[in-house]
Amino acid sequence: MATLTVWKFGTWNGANQAIGTLEGLAKQGLIKVHDAASVSWQPEARRPKTRQVRNLTGVGAIGGMFWGMLFGMIFLMPFAGAAIGAASGAIAGSLVDVGISDDFIKSVRDQVTPGTSALFLLSSDAVQDKVRAAFAATGLQMPQLIQSNLTAEQEAALREMFAG
């Protein structure tokens, strides 16, 4: 079963830098990446830039439509106003069906701000100690898990794994 996680980085380009490490881990079979996308928000920009990570994904990728819909709800809706309110209600309803609630959207919106970045990752079969060691070796600040569809116990274990 795949897990959707969102990792926040303290720099605007941290998520994009982490993609290279993720590519290497996937090639080694240490994590199975079903799909991924990044958000990078330069400090002076009004809105973040988004990018689907196509070279990591294979058969079963959920595709650009999903990421576009999700990122639109998280980052564009505060700026869009009431003009597209009815359409956004329908989109939000369809996201809830796949486990992405208003709380998920609000949490990510509140934490991914100018000067930060985030990696949205749909993955499975991670060899956790090897993944952690690979990210620690990059010298990047360890990312913060800000949202996942894991159980509370699984999420606590994941937070602990990346904490030290």
Pairing mode of beta strands 49-52, 32-40: antiparallel
> Is the separation of the CB atoms in 126 and 30 below 8 Å?
yes
Give residue 83's pLDDT: 44
Q: Which residue has the tokens 């993720």?
A: 22
Give residue 58's pLDDT: 53
Give residue 57's pLDDT: 54
> Is the separation of the CB atoms in 146 and 162 below 8 Å?
no
Give residue 53's pLDDT: 80
Q: How far is CA 100 from the centre of its chain?
A: 12
Give residue 144's pLDDT: 82
- Per-domain residue ranges of the chain: 3-163
Work out the end-to-end distance of the chain between its first and last CA atoms, rounded to an integer number of angstroms.
26
- Residues of the chain predicted below pLDDT 70: 1, 54-66, 77-100, 147, 149-164
